Structure 1
Amino acid sequence: METFFKIFAVVFTLLFGYAIVVQFNDPDALKWVLIYLTAAVASVLFLLKKLKSSIYFLLTIFFLVLFFVYWPETYEGVQLDHGMKTVNIEEGRESLGSLIAAVVMLVYGLRTRFLNKSKV
């Protein structure tokens, strides 16, 4: 089971890193680079077992707040073809990216909590 979580964390470190790279044409690129950098660093720290579960739970809340804040007024999908067609599509992408990060942080938090309780 430990191997699964290591692979999971490596995959999401790479995915969050990719999300950072593709922000170059985003109107608010710096903000989203920092947000995805936070998720990528949390993934690396999960691999290194350096954070407490409470930090992952706080990050889960942070990313869930972003999910709700950026949910578009009218959901038009996340069309992955060339570029951003509308603001609603851009906000849909940002919102769903935040939801993915929230779920990943929740997995990290639960796994960290489970490991710490089993050592008692």
Structure 2
Amino acid sequence: MYRLFNSTPIAKTWTGAEQTARGSFNSLTHHSGAGAVYPDKISGGLTVAEMWMYEKGNGGNDYNLRCLQPALFKCQNNLKDLQDGTPLKLDATDDVFLKFCLYGDAQHYLINASHWEA
């Protein structure tokens, strides 16, 4: 598992307390391994994983699961040659996923544009 951001501020703790909570996003894909060729040589497509948000515990460095990010996926493949906003398809779904990148060419993500909720 890979923690994407270290202690990102969240508006409130899961209990609804007014103090700011600290959180991080996690995924089963690694940034160190995110350079796989696209399309993937084994699957012929993309390797992606869901992302979760964890909230830092009150007493130390423990992280508690806060939520699953249902429309956000971390890519294992290097999609630097695709323009941000490029629609992509994943196996076993008719949903449309839009590619975007953070931090240069290293971190590629997909947003499920078919089921994105405001």
TM-score if structure 2 supplies the norm length? 0.26
Q: Judging by fraction of residues, say which structure has more helix.
A: 1
Q: Judging by fraction of residues, say which structure has more strand.
A: 2
TM-score if structure 1 supplies the norm length? 0.26
